């Protein structure tokens, strides 16, 4: 149906990682750029980038001595697919539940 979304949810749960994704949405950035923009030590940025890259949300590009990170928009697709599936499934179900509840006699509750 869709890819495994648990690592995506875990990656997105951290506020620093969300801030990194926000910054990368403006364009690629190095660990140094991100550390400065977010006032966070470089080793912490590196750890967060590793989690984001493993979750498929960012890429690292090798460019001589630099390894700039950039957003991998396609990495969000499984989560989009999953939440859309949940929404469609439950909106359908709850509309059916609305009708069932309206038809249920009061004396049986």
Partner 1 sequence: MPLPFKIEQTGPTTLTMTRGLSAPPAKVWRAHTEPELVMKWMGMGPYPIVKADIDLKVGGGFRYEWQTPEGGIMAVNGEYLDLSAPHRIVHTEIFDEDWTDGKTTVTSSFEAVEAGTRVTLEMKYRSEEGLQMALQSGASEGVQATYDQLADLLVAA
User: Which chain residues interact with partner 1 by CB under 8 A?
Assistant: 1-7, 9-10, 12-13, 51, 54-56, 72, 74-75, 77-78, 83, 86-94, 96-102, 104, 108-109
Count CB-CB contacts under 10 A for residue 62.
Answer: 8
65 versus 105: smaller Cβ distance to partner 1 = 105
Kindly state the smallest distance separating residue 23's Cβ from partner 1, in Å. Answer: 20
Cβ at position 9, least distance to partner 1 in Å: 5
Three-state secondary structure along 42-93? HHHHHHHHHHHHHCCCEEECCECCECCEEECHHHHHHHHHHHHHHHHHHHHH
């Amino acid at each position: 149906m869709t890819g495994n979304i648990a690592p995506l949810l875990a990656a997105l749960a951290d506020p620093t990682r969300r801030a990194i994704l926000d910054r990368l949405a403006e364009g690629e950035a190095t660990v140094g750029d991100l550390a400065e923009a977010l006032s966070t030590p470089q080793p912490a940025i590196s750890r967060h980038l590793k989690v984001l890259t493993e979750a498929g949300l960012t890429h690292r590009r090798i460019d001589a001595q630099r390894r700039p990170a950039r957003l991998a928009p396609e990495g969000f697709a499984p989560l989009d697919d999953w939440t859309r599936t949940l929404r469609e499934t439950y909106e359908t179900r709850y509309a059916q539940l609305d009708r069932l509840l309206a038809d249920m006699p009061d004396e049986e509750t």
